[in-house]
Amino acid sequence: MKICCIGAGYVGGPTMAMIALKCPDIQVAVVDMNAARIAAWNSDQLPIYEPGLDDVVRQARGRNLHFTTDVAGNIKSADIIFVAVNTPTKTYGVGAGRAADLRYIESVARTIAQHATGTKIIVEKSTIPVKTADTIRSILASNGTGLKAQVLSNPEFLAEGTAVQDLLAPDRVLIGGERTPEGDQAVAALAGVYARWVPRERIITTNLWSSELSKLVANAFLAQRISSINSISALCEATGADVDEVANAIGKDSRIGPKFLKASVGFGGSCFQKDILNLTYLCESFGLPEVAAYWGSVVGINDWQKKRFAARIVKELFNTVADKKIAILGFAFKKDTNDTRETAAINVCRDLLAEHASVCVYDPKVPADEILADTLGKGHTNSRLTVAQDAYAACAGAHAIAIVTEWDEFKKLDYARIYAGMPKPAFLFDGRNILDLAALRKIGFKASGIGKPAE
């Protein structure tokens, strides 16, 4: 068997690396037109940071895992073709700001139709709107070469920062296909690949549309929990309740459970907001405005939480941060990843810069040029925004510190040393609730967290 994956990003690279590791008899090729990205996958400095990924890639690369720009050749030779290209939110035309931009999906489908012959299994790995398989099938059916293709849906459920572990021991593998003899055969073939290391009871098979929709709904439900607890964090601050204590109490209810009840400055990443906006657009398209409004409110609360965090910094610093240095610790949307897509740090930095603060950012994995470009836009500069090489340099002389990403190293800093080098009163805002606020207050900080009782 030969597998080809079109798209060498956060999904395609790690997923194919794990398949190659666990199935040494299967030749796996990851193809992409971006030569620089392919070169990075073939180097000692992978294009994405994910704990444990380096080791997985090194074990399989050159044996049965290959990264290449030969798209056409690998499409021709592959038995199974994964499609793992980006599906960003549209920024133009009908559905702008909500609908998924499917130009890359269509382009890949046309490329497959141009080069593929014989019998192929096409696997949707990208997060896509329900019914996208119809588009792919229509394009493939028009190639005129006698291609016999089955289109399957196999959405990814990876969490950045734990992707390797999620691939090693997934909660479930979801495969959707047509309920026909040919569709069942294709589903069985793909299930057989995953069954090399995933217990059969964790491999779920559904029809195509259920599988396509399940990815959007899973992300919507997870984001809903975050927005729900964040909305309660505001009430906790107003009443003197502690959001962590509230979350612990309700999380003991087996019907609710403790996961995704951590109050924070807001969720980020490439999936949650994009997928919820896509879901709202789908609901409106199918004549369900009330459902669309419900899910839209989840994104609304998240945006409000980010603004509320920045506004709280301004308010606590005597209603002005003009010409005051604010240290932002963390820029990635979560720890153990270098992904900055939709990170809350962008909003916080922009809001503080709008108040004429001097913002100094430090993140252990995000390069300085990316921090500047994400915050200001490529080619733009602002002398008030700087990037530090370490946390101590970022905090030196700062009027306030804001924890925006929950990196473990921020829990281990010498805050007494940091406090000594700050103007007084010195403020600390824990946007991830990872620090001991009582201990910080003993040092002298005016420390506060999300949904925590006031000092």
How many Å from the N-terminal Cα to the C-terminal Cα in the chain? 63
Distance CA 361, CA 345 (A): 9
Q: Is 433 exposed, middle or buried (0-12, 13-18, 19+ CB in 10 A)?
A: buried
Q: How does DSSP classify residue 89? A: B
Q: How many residues does the chain have?
A: 455
Kindly compute the dihedral angle of the four CA atoms of residues 411, 415, 416, 417, in this order, to the nearest 10 degrees. 120
Give pairs for 348-354: CB < 8 Å, separation 24+: 348/265, 348/306, 348/309, 348/310, 348/402, 348/404, 348/431, 349/375, 349/385, 350/375, 351/306, 351/307, 351/310, 351/311, 352/310, 352/313, 352/314, 352/321, 352/326, 352/328, 353/382, 353/384, 353/385
Reported as type and span, the H/E element at residue 319 is none
Angstrom CA distances, 205 to 1, 91, 166, 189, stand at 21, 34, 19, 12
Residue owning tokens 């990924």? 53
Angstrom CA distances, 201 to 156, 170, 191, 194, stand at 17, 11, 11, 11
Residue 134's SS3 state is helix
Q: How many CA atoms lie within 13 A of 155 on its CB side?
A: 29
Phi, psi of 123, deg, nearest 5: -115, 120
Q: Which of 4, 5, 23, 271 is catalytic?
A: 271
Phi, psi of 188, deg, nearest 5: -65, -35
Nearest CA to 268 out of 368, 404, 126 is that of 404
Active site residue 23: no
Among all residues, which ones are annotated catalytic?
A: 271
